[in-house]
């Protein structure tokens, strides 16, 4: 996915997605200097991933970034112990409408709603039921080969059905993300083991993004976003092993630079190729 020239909507959408990933990491990892390093890394890594012209995800950029932003907002609201659980329903619904990779967020937000320690509206019990039905619809649309269900899956995902096996999808994801980011993302997944609503939500998105990528035969933006989030968590946790705040910040910045080197260089190199090709496309001047 690349940025169109002078197009404000993609730039705003990418900014929202990056900010959401930053806030999600802070909500999951805390406010230490180490977690701050991971939170700052996340939007930079996400921007470097989505503006790379060689990453042809096939999904419209604005739509993908709005879904990522809504999912990040949902994770932030689910991680807050004092906020109203109703607040998480709106971004969860937006994300689920944008992509089936996020469809489980509605059910999780509904589960949080009915387990809230204060008075709940009478219709609250219906939210997780609707969320569960949405998951069923997403599964049916995902596995359907023909008919209206398959057409729904193509429209919902934004790409036609071209299934790949899970090993092929994971290999493609590792190639797309780069070896350093792929390893860092895997290292960050164990930090989601806490069975809180926010962590469960992220795990469901990871599963959903892998399934969507397997159906479309391409790396879905949701999978890139979750890899970015897991990488930020890994950097924050590793830097947090140092007791001194200065040491945490220094190690966090060092790790962030190492992770960003490959995607940043890829973007710069791709931009240079586009710049060299532009004069040839214009033709000789009169």
Q: What tokens does 111 get?
A: 């589960």
Residue 265 has what pLDDT?
63
Q: State percent of the chain over pLDDT 70.
A: 83
Residues 248-253: what's their mean pLDDT? 74
pTM for this prediction: 0.82
Determine which of 141-145, 248-252, 278-282 has the lowest per-residue pLDDT on average. Answer: 278-282
Which residues neighbour 169 within 8 Å (Cβ) at sequence distance 6 or greater? Answer: 210, 213, 214, 217, 219
Give the residue from 164, 233, 161 showing the smallest Cα distance to 192: 233
- The answer to whether 108 touches 78, Cβ cutoff 8 Å, is yes
Residue 58 has what pLDDT?
53
Residue 59 has what pLDDT?
63
The residues spanned by each domain of the chain are 9-265
More confident residue, 42 or 279: 42
DSSP state of 123: G
Determine which of 53-62, 163-172, 189-198, 258-267 has the lowest per-residue pLDDT on average. Answer: 53-62
- The answer to whether 46 touches 18, Cβ cutoff 8 Å, is yes
Determine which of 2-11, 164-173, 210-219, 242-251 has the lowest per-residue pLDDT on average. Answer: 2-11
Residue 254 has what pLDDT?
77
Residues 71-75: what's their mean pLDDT? 94
């Amino acid at each position: 996915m690349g940025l169109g020239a002078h197009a404000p909507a993609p730039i705003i959408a990418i900014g929202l997605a990056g900010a959401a990933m930053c806030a999600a990491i802070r909500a999951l990892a805390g406010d230490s200097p180490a977690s701050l390093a991971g939170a700052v890394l996340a939007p930079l890594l996400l921007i470097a991933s989505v503006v790379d012209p060689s990453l042809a995800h096939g999904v419209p950029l604005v739509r993908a970034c709005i879904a990522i932003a809504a999912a990040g907002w949902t994770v932030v609201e689910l991680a807050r112990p004092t906020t109203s659980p109703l607040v998480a329903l709106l971004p969860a619904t937006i994300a689920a409408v944008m992509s089936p990779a996020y469809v489980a967020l509605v059910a999780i937000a509904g589960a949080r709603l009915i387990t809230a320690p204060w008075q709940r509206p009478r219709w609250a019990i219906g939210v997780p039921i609707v969320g569960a039905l949405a998951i069923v619809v997403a599964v049916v649309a995902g596995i359907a080969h023909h008919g209206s269900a398959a057409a729904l899956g193509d429209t919902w995902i934004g790409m036609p059905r071209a299934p790949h096996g899970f090993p092929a999808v994971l290999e493609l994801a590792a190639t797309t993300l780069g070896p350093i980011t792929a390893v860092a993302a895997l290292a960050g997944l164990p930090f989601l083991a806490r069975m809180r609503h926010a962590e469960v939500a992220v795990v469901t998105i990871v599963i959903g993004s892998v399934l969507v990528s397997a159906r479309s035969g391409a790396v879905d933006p949701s999978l890139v976003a979750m890899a970015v989030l897991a990488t930020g968590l890994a950097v924050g946790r590793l830097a947090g092993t140092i007791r001194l705040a200065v040491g945490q910040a220094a190690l966090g910045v060092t790790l962030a630079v190492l992770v960003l080197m490959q995607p940043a260089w890829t973007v710069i190199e791709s931009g240079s190729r586009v710049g060299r090709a532009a004069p040839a496309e214009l033709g000789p001047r009169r």
